[in-house]
A = this chain, B = another copy of it.
């Protein structure tokens, strides 16, 4: 298996000199929950725990063998720790040995993005399949995702399901909806298979092994800036979380929240029939969504920053705040998922020589998902109002 190594500028793997000078105090589980815990101790404790999780998930993934469910779960946990590690390294960057951690952080981002794709395509297909059934007035329970359908004459499973649906045996899908579903299934299953191969290839690459080696370093001793051990945790950590909150609040300031807060503003579909995107001109919907996606990333950083604070106290410092941050995060996840599902429906409609009924169903589906984009913005707007109250 060949390895796509990065442009050769990075050589992670060896901890920089000088880290062990202070690292010895930071290793191991968080020892103290005292008012005089240092920022270095608390941050190192969090990173240590996440790195340990990362390595455990990696081991599970290696041991999962042919069990696809176990492998999927292990990959999910691997992404989860990778996101938290890179998030914490981002929010508390000045407390770390940045020459070493910046490199690891960008590698962790590469890793979680690579691993996330397979899951994203599977989730997108499930979302679109559910929507097609909902829009057909059929119960979602009748969608039978993943059910094996006997496929005679070399028919693919998707084609057999589409045929069964056309014949009225598939839960009342119309011809157009069934064909749209089959087309989306073909496209997204292909994309998912490619993403699966890419993920396996990534996990076998020397680039990945270098990441794993560096995470192992975090699991034993965290390369921190020496000053991190002179700062009181409760002051220094709060300072960086406040900074992350300000970046988030500034980005939210730029969102059209007053429009989004008005239900049924029809804004998310305002470019539903705009010109097909070209290389020079990205899709108008993508331009409209980008600032929301950026806020989604900033909410996540804010959450992971909060988790480090909570680690210090060994309880959630502000449970209400954590719940609201999670809610905001979920609303923006839904925003992204719906936006990407809408784009997938629009892209499928550009397949040459599809039947008008298929194209019509994809048009309805696109609009439906864009309305879910709008609904997610509305939900986020409400959650943000409450968050703004929680954090004066």
Contact = CB atoms under 8 A, between A and B. Distances in A.
Nearest to A357: B359
B174 A272 contact: no
Nearest to A133: B273
A368 B269 contact: yes
A136 B264 contact: no
A299 interface: no
Contacts of A349: 356-357, 360
Most B C-beta atoms less than 10 A away, residue of A263, A273, A354, A363: A273
A389 B210 CA distance: 68
Contact of A366 (B136, B353, B364): B364
Given A356-B355, A359-B363, A266 B368 contact: yes
A375 interface: yes
B368 A172 contact: no
B378 A264 contact: yes
A176 interface: yes
A134 B263 contact: no
Given A263-B378, A367-B371, A134 B270 contact: yes
Contacts of A274: 135-137, 172, 174
Interface string A154-178: 0000000000000000001110110
A306 interface: no
A110 to B, nearest CB: 34
Given A273-B177, A356-B354, A264 B361 contact: no
Count of this chain's copies in the oligomeric assembly = 2
A264 B371 contact: yes
A368 B272 contact: yes
A217 interface: no
Contact of A273 (B136, B270, B284, B355): B136
A135 B346 CA distance: 14
A1 interface: no
A274 B139 CA distance: 12
Contacts of A137: 270-271, 273-274, 284
A156 to B, nearest CB: 22
A264 B367 contact: no
A364 B269 contact: yes
A374 to B, nearest CB: 7
A311 B365 CA distance: 51
A362 B361 CA distance: 9
Given A264-B378, A266-B134, A374-B264, A176 B356 contact: no
Interface in A273-325: 273-276, 284
Nearest to A276: B174
A264 B262 CA distance: 11
Given A137-B270, A349-B356, A356-B356, 7 more contacts: A135-B269, A136-B273, A263-B375, A264-B264, A266-B368, A272-B368, A364-B364
23 contacts: A134-B266, A135-B271, A135-B273, A136-B271, A136-B273, A137-B270, A174-B275, A176-B273, A263-B264, A263-B375, A263-B378, A266-B368, A266-B371, A266-B372, A349-B357, A355-B356, A356-B359, A357-B359, A360-B366, A362-B363, A363-B363, A364-B367, A371-B371
Interface of A: 132, 134-137, 172-174, 176-177, 263-264, 266, 269-276, 284, 349, 353-368, 371-372, 374-375, 378
